[in-house]
Amino acid sequence: MKLDKGTIKKFISKIDGKKIMVLGDVMLDCYLWGEVSRISPEAPVPVVNVKEQTFTLGGAGNVAKNVADLGACPLIIGARGDDDQGKGLMKILKNGGIDARGMMVDPERPTTVKTRIVAHNQQVVRADLENAKELSDAVQDKIIKFIRRNCANIQGMIISDYGKGVISFRLLTEIIDLMNQKGIFIAVDPKETHFMNYRRVSIITPNHHEAGYAYRKKIVDEESLLQVGFGLVDLLEAQSVLITRGEKGMSLFEPDSEVTHIPTQARQVFDVTGAGDTVIATLVACKAAGATIKQSAYIANLAAGIVVGEIGTSTISKDKMLYALKNGIKSSNTRLKLQ
């Protein structure tokens, strides 16, 4: 069965109001935009004359923004510092329609900020302000209690792990157990170092480098792809594994099932920044709207094809999806067969 535009539109329209938890490393992305006209006399580095400063959500914050822009209701959970950057982060979250009651203040760590200096549309340098140590037991306790109190009416959960200290073995164990007990769909955007801790989730969405690293086998052809994909399904006892493969699209693996290859829909690729956030946000939003895992993966692939055609960290939205469908995304180009 082919997934036609009418079916895609139906699921997109049903995303509205769906409640999705997003747990992970929330960051503030700062951009300093300027021009270079000379080299510093102090060192052989360019002097950037800053013209403008902008702030956007990064990490799990960008995932939540994708969820909100699709029309769902994200509840974000993470940690921030007791600092001006943390206050600015909270303001951006709230202005973006994101419920930020789950953002815990940790006075022992700074708010994670990634500052990029850009001159003539070229990144010159990036400076990171962060403490990537694991959260204290006290802060983890607060997060677990908050999730337990607020998970009754959610339709999905995303764990967005950027390795900045929020996602721990303890947190994963307790939250995955809780979500499975309640029958809540749980998706993980992984970090290589935590890979073996993401057991018994509904879906995990590594790129092909992460997947190969986790299974200790580099993906170089169809045979190695199948070995890694089905191997991870068995190893993690996962309901499904979605390996994103860049210009080759995505491959969805399920237990006792043939692999589903989904060719890329991108016509031009300008910037892949944030594409993984778009994939997992769209997939979980569509699953919450009633789509099957194959249908959700297919629509997430369409969304990724849209955002990589834009410069900078971009988010997907309902309007972008509908516009792209109207202006020539051809689902007939895919080999996807839905059940």
In this predicted model, what pLDDT tens digit does every residue of 91-102 receive, in sequence order?
A: 999 999 999 999
C-alpha torsion 305→276→2→239, nearest 10: 170
Residue 339 has pLDDT above 60, yes or no: no
Residues 6+ apart with CB under 8 A from 338: 1, 2, 3, 292, 294, 295, 298
In tens, the pLDDT along 148-173 reads: 999 999 999 999 999 999 999 999 99
Which tops the pLDDT comparison, 61 or 248? 61
Whether 57 and 114 have beta carbons less than 8 Å apart is answered as no
In the predicted model, is pLDDT for residue 312 greater than 60?
Answer: no
CA distance linking residue 119 with residue 109, whole number of Å: 30
What residues act catalytically? 277
What's the pLDDT at 336?
A: 31
pLDDT of residue 279: 94
Q: In this structure, are strands 250-253 and 241-244 parallel, antiparallel, or unpaired?
A: antiparallel
- The fraction of the chain above a pLDDT of 70, given in percent, is 91
Distance between CA atoms of residues 285 and 100, nearest Å: 18
Neighbours of 88 (CB within 10 A): 16
**Topology classification of domain 5-28+58-119+131-333:** UDP-N-acetylmuramoyl-L-alanine:D-glutamate ligase (3.40.1190)
Are the C-beta atoms of 208 and 247 separated by less than 8 Å? Answer: no
pLDDT at 16: 95
Going by pLDDT thresholds of 50, 70 and 90, the confidence category of residue 2 is low
CB–CB of 288/156 below 8 Å? Answer: yes
How large is the average pLDDT for residues 63-88? 97
Chain segment 265-297, per-residue pLDDT in tens = 655 544 345 688 999 999 999 999 999 999 999
pLDDT (tens digit, 9 = 90+) per residue, 206-230? 999 999 999 999 999 999 999 999 9
Which helix (H) or strand (E) element contains residue 139? helix 137-150
In the chain, where the domains are located: 5-28+58-119+131-333
